[in-house]
């Protein structure tokens, strides 16, 4: 599947998919919400039952394509030709999408619609990847190219989307991060060690009419040695896998290094490939070894970079092993599962690993107008709502802007500034029954990381008055008068907390 050699066939496929209305909305309307939720859990029976009723009219083509490329079922040649009248069965075979089987044609790739909303607006694409274990009926091949998974959507949600000149997508896989980056960057370079991944990524870009991405083959930063970028995004193969014979090393998740060395290599390499003020964002795992906190080890990888690292989850070696052995398609309760389980536990034990952390890494090369930042934190609470990381990219960017703004201002300058409360912030008060005064007050963030901040009377009054009209100093003076408090002492108490609220996105600086 080489996009460069098959542009006419890919164009015909694009037109057929458009005419079939092969979209997320159409498929959900065909098989319903319950079946759609079951597919996300890896169960296809409900969707199969809905498609067995053979939707007619304008939905017949979308149904046939869903049987083939989403569920991995065989479809007779006449139904394929009806669903792909321009491309035809012959063209689909030539593109490497289908293969002839005993009772029809079966898929060689997974091809499905994908919809999203980002800072640029709503969008939709079709994404090709290798068939998953649902279609294969077995464990994945080691050179498997992953499609849209949980880590994929996590990173796309985290991606900052301010307009930039250049973006590097390190380890592009099926190309989804590079495609998202193309919406806000003039030029994107996407690299991968897997030639098949690059072929699929180039196919996806061509299929969706994206021509601003350059694909390069090689390991980590080797294909871009000596170059710098305004932004780097990476969903690296960070899964910690035993370097033991007989343990599958899946290219999409295993970087071939011991322990968390692949994440260390990406972090260390980012500094020499970022332009001043440039930002790198990646997902990663890190090990807690012996009595050493993982953040102590990660801090040693950062060099001169600013960093904001958020640890979202911590697992024991046993939990981690179970998760990733199942991810490769090996079922628990089998001899093979037990063999792999022992290999994983032996590997962790050899390095003294007691826990494994997972989280989000934001790095920045200091530049004009940036303030030093070294923030490594663990967030134990769940993200607000069901959006997971949706919208976190703009939130992270706004927090960095606010941090740089407040860090550049003295207390006197901050007191003379006008601030506003973020639109997602609410105040929560708790009372004993019959009491006039609250026993507890909280400031709650409805988006972002869903943080909660305890309030006292002074801070509650100040935040409530930050409506973009009065300066911080005028508000502090008014509160001091109402509370019969010393104004200078009150300002000394509130200003550090105001800076923290700016850093966390509760308050916004002046535009």
8 pLDDT exceeds 70?
yes
**Predicted pLDDT at 389:** 54
Higher-confidence residue: 198 or 256? 198
**Predicted pLDDT at 382:** 61
Query: Residue 392: which of 161, 178, 149 has the closest Cα?
Result: 161
Q: Report H helices in 140-293.
A: 150-158, 176-181, 195-207, 261-270
d(CA 510, CA 74): 59
In eight-state DSSP terms, residue 327 is: H
d(CA 70, CA 112): 6
Say how many residues make up the chain: 511
**Predicted pLDDT at 386:** 43
Share of the chain above pLDDT 90, in %: 79
d(CA 243, CA 246): 9
Query: Residue 92: which of 80, 104, 78, 74 has the closest Cα?
Result: 80
d(CA 444, CA 441): 10
Domains along the sequence of the chain with CATH? 3-114 (no CATH), 142-391 (3.40.50.150), 405-508 (3.90.930)
Q: Is the full-model pTM beyond 0.85? A: yes
Question: How does the average pLDDT of the chain come out, rounded?
Answer: 92
**Predicted pLDDT at 2:** 62
What is the DSSP code string of 230-264?
A: EEEEE---B------TTS---TTTB-SSSTTHHHH
Reported confidence tier of residue 56, pLDDT bands at 50, 70, 90? confident
User: What confidence tens digit (pLDDT) does each residue in 446-474 have?
Assistant: 999 999 999 999 999 999 999 999 999 99
Task: Give the three-class secondary structure for 305.
Answer: coil
- Computed on alpha carbons and rounded to an integer, the radius of gyration of the chain in Å comes to 26
Q: Which residues contact 132 (CB under 8 A, 6 or more apart)?
A: 72, 110, 140, 147
Terminal C-alpha separation, the chain: 49
Mean pLDDT within 72-79: 92
């Amino acid at each position: 599947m080489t996009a460069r050699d098959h542009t006419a066939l890919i164009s015909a496929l694009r037109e057929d998919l458009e005419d079939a209305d092969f979209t997320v909305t159409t498929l959900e309307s065909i098989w319903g919400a319950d079946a759609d939720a079951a597919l996300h859990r890896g169960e296809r029976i409900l969707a199969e039952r809905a498609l067995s009723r053979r939707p007619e009219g304008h939905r017949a083509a979308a149904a046939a394509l869903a049987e083939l490329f989403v569920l991995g079922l065989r479809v007779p040649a006449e139904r394929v030709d009806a669903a792909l009248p321009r491309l035809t069965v012959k063209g689909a075979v030539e593109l490497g999408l289908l293969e002839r089987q005993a009772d029809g044609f079966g898929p060689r790739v997974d091809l499905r619609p994908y919809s999203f909303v980002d800072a640029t607006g709503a969008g939709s694409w079709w994404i090709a990847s290798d068939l998953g274990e649902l279609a294969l009926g077995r464990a994945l091949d080691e050179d498997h190219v992953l499609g849209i998974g949980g880590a994929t959507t996590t990173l796309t949600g985290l991606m900052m989307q301010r307009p930039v000149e250049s973006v590097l997508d390190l380890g592009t896989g099926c190309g989804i991060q590079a495609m998202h980056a193309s919406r806000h960057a003039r030029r994107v370079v996407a690299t991968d060690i897997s030639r098949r991944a690059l072929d699929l990524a180039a196919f996806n870009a061509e299929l969706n009419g994206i021509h601003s991405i350059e694909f390069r083959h090689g390991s980590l930063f080797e294909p871009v040695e000596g170059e710098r970028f305004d932004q780097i995004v990476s969903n690296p193969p960070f899964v910690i896998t035993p370097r033991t014979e007989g343990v599958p090393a899946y290219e999409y998740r295993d970087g071939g290094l011991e322990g968390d060395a692949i994440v260390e290599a990406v972090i260390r390499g980012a500094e020499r490939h970022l332009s001043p003020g440039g930002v790198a964002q990646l997902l990663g795992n890190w090990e807690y070894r012996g009595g050493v906190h993982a953040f102590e080890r990660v801090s040693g990888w950062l060099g001169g970079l600013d960093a904001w690292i958020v640890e979202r989850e911590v697992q024991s070696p046993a939990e981690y092993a179970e998760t990733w052995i199942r991810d490769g398609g090996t079922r628990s309760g089998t001899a093979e599962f037990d063999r792999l389980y022992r290999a994983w536990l032996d590997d962790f034990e050899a390095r003294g690993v007691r826990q494994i952390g997972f989280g989000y890494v934001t790095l920045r090369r200091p530049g004009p107008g940036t303030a030093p930042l070294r923030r490594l934190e663990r967030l134990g609470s769940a993200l607000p709502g069901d959006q997971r990381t949706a919208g976190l990219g703009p939130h992270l960017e706004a927090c960095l802007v606010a941090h740089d703004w407040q860090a550049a201002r003295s207390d006197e300058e901050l007191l003379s500034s006008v601030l506003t409360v973020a639109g997602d912030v609410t105040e929560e008060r708790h009372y004993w029954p019959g009491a006039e005064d609250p026993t507890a007050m909280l400031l709650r963030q409805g988006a972002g990381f869903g943080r909660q901040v305890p309030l006292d009377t002074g801070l509650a009054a100040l935040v409530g008055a930050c409506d973009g009209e009065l300066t911080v100093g005028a508000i502090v003076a008014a509160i001091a008068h109402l509370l019969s408090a010393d104004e200078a002492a009150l300002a000394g108490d509130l200003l550090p907390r105001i800076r923290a609220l700016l850093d966390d996105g509760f308050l916004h600086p002046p535009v």
